[in-house]
Chain A
Amino acid sequence: MNTFQALRKAWSEFLGLFVEDGSLALGIVAVVAVAAILSALAISPVAVGVVLLLGCLGVLVENVLRARRNTSRRPPSR
């Protein structure tokens, strides 16, 4: 492994900090996008806040429960 490869690997690991489970990242981006659209449409800022908070909580619950269902069908992994 040379320096360039090491830097490239470090960079890809850094990107992996934010996107490990694609569906979780997509869910978060979707929630934020909906909140941003509501904000741009001048919908009540309180509604924007509610969408952000409940959306993120919902994305977490859905993702964790789905991971549970998926792993019950295969052996435990790291």
Chain B
Amino acid sequence: MSNWATVAPAITSAFLASVVEVVEAFTILLAVASVRGARPAVTGTLAGLLLLAAIVLVFGPAIDRVPIGLLQFSVGVLLLLFGLRWLRKAVLRAAGIIAQHDEEAVYRMESLHLQDELRRRAARADWLAGLTAFKAVVVEGLEVVFIVIAVGAGRGLLVPASLGALAACMLVLGFGALVHRPLARVPENALKFGVGVMLSSFGVFWSGEGLGVPWPGEDIAVLGFIATFLALGLALVAVLRSRTAELAR
């Protein structure tokens, strides 16, 4: 039985993670459109969305046939791999150990790379531009599909999680169409930090459920894990920053 303690974090993590992914895809689509025009960008995007829909249609029904314990355990392990990776990177970025993700820089690099490719293969320019858009949509879209399945499948929350992801897509694309430039002001690292915390918490919860762990408070335990990962992540950032400041002196 689902309650707000699992529904709210599932929707929130699907929404926030999708914001990050759609912003990244939008930057590349914008670079394609600015270098080669809207047509290959739209064609590549539609082809990518069709492939994603086919993947969901083929693999989606199979999820119902997997025993719930095995599904929870597998999804939990994948969430741990995914979530702790995001959290690690967000902590290192927040502490200034690795560089922040910069949408403006990605946009410039993607545009330059595409211009260079198009100059060398002028005859296939539209095809290459469309393929770049297609790849961006497929790669970032697969992440969104995975996150929705991972946070939604364990408790029958696929629909709410999908709605969270859909809301993120509409918000980012609507805003992007309005400003028509890379969304560099989205606090990408803070979002990644938050999503990393939530996905890691769900990862511990689901893998434990799959192994038959009776978590205290049942679903409420997720909130405790979120608080624990959040506190640890913030503490790590503080420790690393102070050590960096000491070394700088």
Contacts and interface: CB of A to CB of B under 8 A. Distances in A.
Contacts of A20: 85, 89
B220 to A, nearest CB: 14
B213 interface: yes
A3 B159 CA distance: 32
B100 to A, nearest CB: 9
Contacts of B213: 39, 45-46, 48-49, 52
B232 A61 contact: yes
Interface size class of B (residues with CB under 8 A): 35 or more
Give the secondary structure class of B's interface. Answer: helix
A52 B98 contact: no
Interface in B84-131: 84-85, 87-89, 91-92, 95-99, 128, 131
Nearest to A39: B211
A64 B236 contact: yes
Given A53-B204, A60-B84, A76 B228 contact: no
A59 B240 CA distance: 16
Interface of B: 73, 77-78, 80-82, 84-85, 87-89, 91-92, 95-99, 128, 131, 134-135, 138-139, 142-143, 146, 200, 203-204, 207-208, 211-215, 225, 228-229, 232-233, 236, 240, 243, 247
Given A67-B88, A67-B92, 19 more contacts: A3-B131, A6-B134, A10-B142, A14-B139, A17-B142, A17-B146, A28-B84, A29-B77, A32-B77, A35-B207, A35-B208, A39-B211, A39-B212, A52-B207, A52-B213, A56-B80, A56-B200, A57-B228, A57-B232
